[in-house]
Amino acid sequence: MKVLVAIDSFKGSLSSLEAGNAVKSGIEKLGCEVLVKPIADGGEGSVEALADALKAKFMDVIVANPLGEKTPARYALKGELGILEMASASGLPLIEKSRRNPLKTSTYGFGEMIAHAIAHGARKFIIGIGGSATNDAGMGMLRALGFKFKDTNGAELAGAGEDLIKLATIDCTSVLPHLKECEFLIACDVDNPLFGENGAAYIYAPQKGADAAMVKQLDAGLINFASVVSKHLGRELWNSPGAGAAGGLGFGFVSFLNATLKPGIDIITEQIGLERDMQGAELVITGEGRLDFQSSMGKTPCGVAKIAASYGVPVIALAGGISPCAGGCNERGIGAFFCILNEPISLERAMDPAVATQNLARVAEQAVRLFLLGRGTK
């Protein structure tokens, strides 16, 4: 029996490839022909999953974190294809909770990552933008790429959230020459506009350290930024679906870099050729660290199940934890799901890579045995 394993990472425990190989080790003994495909949904772990799937090389670079302090960041490179996660340079976990302030944070370091990739030959980009610590509409990122943002006195702005309200003019004369050759495909799973009650500041800034007054200031700044950019470019994109993603970074990408925003799982599955590998499979095993209501809203397991359904291939999902509201996954094409834990255990021990590997292999074997019983196969 041919089994396709496309399982997301177990955050903090196993990478997608490691989880897939654990499943493989458990079911090969049953005579299964197993193909492991590293996968992600455009969020954390996407660079590693795509790098494993495409045999890309990792690139390490020192950039500015959201507060301008030096931090190591990593992306993957395969020929002209750069695979980046914004969170590696400008993510919320890089800043201690007590220091989080979206008025002060910037995506400048993420722009440095892009510039580094361009300098090393990247011309096509796949970028995940989830988990930002910022609300700068991408102004910091764009500054690192050569765009200059100035106030009414002609002074250049640093590009933090507090600078949005000060923007008066934009200077594009020093933009990186190779930037015009680049194509950007952005993994984005939200459709928020740039500003307003459903915009970047009101919906996302509070979780980045903003109080009510900061939210109002940031939203006013985003309105001003959109106004100046619209006049500069001669088009209005602030209401484009996803413009408010990652503190307005989506707007920065579509406005200045002509980027395309697309659901992350769709980007990843296309890049790794999952649909091609689905042909001929008799069973698909997917999963992630925790199955919950979000799993049925564009996350990896249901994204995989959607493709499997088009080929009539049954799907089993495995997870480290399962929420009571995970039942929606069954309605989205997952035939059955199983928790890999079989006894009371601490979270620390459950996430130990060796323990997680053993548990995945064991439950995968039993799940496939059950599947074979249902088919009348011993």
Q: Compute the distance between CA of residue 17 and CA of residue 2 in angstroms, rounded to an integer.
A: 18
pLDDT, residue 353, reads 95
The CATH code of the domain at 2-37+273-374 is: 3.40.50.10350
Residue 304: count other Cβ atoms within 10 Å of its Cβ: 32
In whole angstroms, give the CA distance from residue 178 to residue 169: 23
* Per-residue pLDDT at 377: 67
- Please report the pLDDT score of residue 326 as a whole number: 87
Q: Which residues of the chain have pLDDT under 50?
A: none
Strand intervals (E) in the chain? 2-5, 33-36, 57-64, 70-78, 81-85, 124-128, 148-150, 169-171, 183-187, 260-262, 283-291, 315-322, 336-339
CB atoms under 10 Å from CB of 185, counted, come to: 18
For the whole prediction, is pTM greater than 0.75? yes
- The pLDDT of residue 378: 56
Residue 374: which residues within 8 A CB-CB, separation 6 or more?
none
pLDDT at position 237: 92
* Predicted local distance difference test score (pLDDT) of residue 5: 98
Element (H, E) at 249: helix 245-256
Cβ contacts of 229 within 8 Å, gap of 6 or more: 170, 237, 251, 255, 256
For residue 159, give the amino acid letter. G
Angle at CA 35, nearest 5°, toward 34 and 38? 135
Name the maximum alpha-carbon separation found in the chain: 79
> What pLDDT digit, counting tens, does each position of 325-360 carry?
888 899 999 999 999 998 999 999 999 999 999 999
Joined tokens for residue 274: 């999952």
For 46-264, CATH gives: 3.90.1510.10
Distance of CA 105 to the CA centre of its chain: 20
CB atoms within 10 A of CB 79: 11
| pLDDT for residue 45 | 79
User: Which pLDDT score is estimated for 130?
Assistant: 87
**Segment (H or E) for 209:** none
Sequence spans of domains, the chain: 2-37+273-374, 46-264
DSSP of 186-200, one letter per residue?
A: EE------SSSTTSH
The mean predicted confidence, pLDDT, of the chain is: 94
From residue 361, alpha-carbon distances to 4, 20, 22, 182, 191 in Å are: 15, 9, 5, 42, 38
